[in-house]
A and B are shown apart, each in its own frame.
Chain A
Amino acid sequence: MKLRYLEVSVGLFVLLGIAALFYLAIQVSNIAEYRDRDTYEVIAYFDHIGGLKVRAPVTVSGVRIGRVSRIAYDPERFQARVTLAIQSGTDFLPADTQASIFTAGLLGEQYIALEPGGDFESLAQGDEILFTQSALVLENMIGRVLTNFSSD
């Protein structure tokens, strides 16, 4: 009897702990992204990426379809080389798709928005997005506005 109680309560404890881990994985974290390993990678070069970080969302029309998997500096092109991991379900992005870095909300993080073009060919693994728009840097904008005012 006593052993039975021990076995059952310890079993419940371990189950509860594992359930909590599952809860943290599925409800709290983004394990769903790890689960669909099926992604293909495309590359985009930006003059300036602003505050973009690895794992930032990649969206089309505001719908999340992937994430930034790598950010590096390309010393030959003097540009930032950003690798986007896109879910293989979304394999119909035209080759002339444009990638822009936007900011979500006032304090929010930066993300990449894709705007599909009109090409018949689609982007595939390893392709480069040719049309990119860099992040807006607040200081540059202010500077430009000021020069405009002074030249007037």
Chain B
Amino acid sequence: MIEFLANLGRSGLHWLSVLGRASMFLFRVLRAQDAVVRRYRLTLAELYSVGVRSLLIIAVSGLFVGMVLGYQGYITLVKFGAAEALGGAVALSLVRELGPVVTALLFAGRAGSALTAEIGLMKTTEQLSAMEMMAVDPYRRVFAPRFFAGFLSMPLLAAIFSAVGVMGGYIVGVGLLGVDSGSYFSQMQAVTDWREDVVSGVIKSIVFGFVVTWIAIFQGFDAEPTSEGISRATTQTVVISALAVLGLDFILTGLMFT
């Protein structure tokens, strides 16, 4: 029992110190954000590797999730004779929850892990150290553009996910199952509120983008400079990001959709 408590305390202290270091790191990254504009070419390159290269997996996943929603929603709604409500059901679940959350989870797996591995490798091979010795600030040169790219990409990707998902629901609901095209969209517009649903979903994805990118970059920066260290950090990025996204989703949902 004592042993258990001691372990609990130890791991609590450990995570507290990690959180402290991560906050310091975040503060410095945010302070270096002027580099995002001044070194826009670097930012562009990061937007490419973080955003553009995540586009395909996000769009394809969005399409399939939308199609499944269309199918499952139809099966449930048709029992109540309310198949016309399909559009609303699909749009609300995508815009409020699935869009931001699934995008964030995919993003953590696709771009987050890549960011961690890249930065971890730069640390292990002393590239970050070498930059410092060449009087180049890694916060400006490496971390700030990556952070900004992740932060900006997430809401855009989530919007694309939701939009493609709505079309996927349309393909299945209207194209295959014969729901009326007009009522699909009019029902959707009737129940989906711009501010309460769409904007809240965007706010969620902005928060997720911030948190997931922060976790990914910090894990790389804080990785033990060995190959096991990098692999552990990469796994941790995905695990911690997933937990953080799901936990934050619960909190944000409670705050915004009262």
Q: Contacts of A20 on B, CB cut-off 8 Å?
A: 156, 159-160, 162-164
Q: Does B213 contact A (CB under 8 A)?
A: no
Q: Does A137 contact B (CB under 8 A)?
A: no
Give a binary string over B48-84; 1 marks a CB under 8 Å from any A CB, 0 the rest. 1001100100000000000000000000000011100
Q: Does A10 contact B (CB under 8 A)?
A: yes
Q: Does B197 contact A (CB under 8 A)?
A: yes
Q: Please measure, in the bound complex, the distance between the C-alpha atom of A63 and the C-alpha atom of B55, giving whole angstroms.
A: 41
Q: Please measure, in the bound complex, the distance between the C-alpha atom of A7 and the C-alpha atom of B163, giving whole angstroms.
A: 24
Give a binary string over A1-43; 1 marks a CB under 8 Å from any B CB, 0 the rest. 0010011011011101111110111011111111000000000
Q: Contacts of B185 on A, CB cut-off 8 Å?
A: 27-28
Q: Which residues of A contact B (CB under 8 A)?
A: 3, 6-7, 9-10, 12-14, 16-21, 23-25, 27-34, 55, 57, 105-108
Contact call A30/B156, Cβ cutoff below 8 A = no
Give a binary string over B93-113; 1 marks a CB under 8 Å from any A CB, 0 the rest. 001000000000000000000
Q: Which of B116-124, B171-179, B187-195, B246-254 contacts A (4 or more CB under 8 A)?
A: B187-195
Known pairs A13-B55, A25-B194, A28-B163. 4 more at Cβ < 8 A?
A14-B156, A27-B185, A28-B198, A34-B195
Q: Which of B6-14, B39-47, B131-139, B220-228 contacts A (4 or more CB under 8 A)?
A: B39-47
Top 5 nearest A-B pairs by Cβ distance?
A: A17-B156, A20-B163, A20-B159, A31-B194, A29-B192
Query: In the complex, what residue of chain A is closest to B164 when comparing beta carbons?
Result: A20
Interface of B is mostly: helix
Give a binary string over B216-258; 1 marks a CB under 8 Å from any A CB, 0 the rest. 0000000000000000000000000000000000000000000
Contact call B44/A28, Cβ cutoff below 8 A = no
Q: Does B115 contact A (CB under 8 A)?
A: no
Contact call B194/A30, Cβ cutoff below 8 A = yes
Contact call B51/A13, Cβ cutoff below 8 A = yes
Contact call B193/A29, Cβ cutoff below 8 A = yes
Q: How far is the CB of A14 from chain B (nearest CB, A)?
A: 7
Q: Does B91 contact A (CB under 8 A)?
A: yes
Q: Contacts of A21 on B, CB cut-off 8 Å?
A: 156, 159, 198, 202
26 sampled A-B residue pairs with Cβ under 8 A: A3-B41, A6-B44, A6-B48, A10-B44, A10-B47, A10-B48, A13-B47, A13-B52, A13-B153, A14-B47, A14-B156, A17-B157, A20-B156, A21-B156, A24-B166, A24-B198, A25-B194, A28-B91, A28-B188, A28-B189, A29-B188, A29-B192, A29-B193, A31-B198, A32-B189, A33-B194
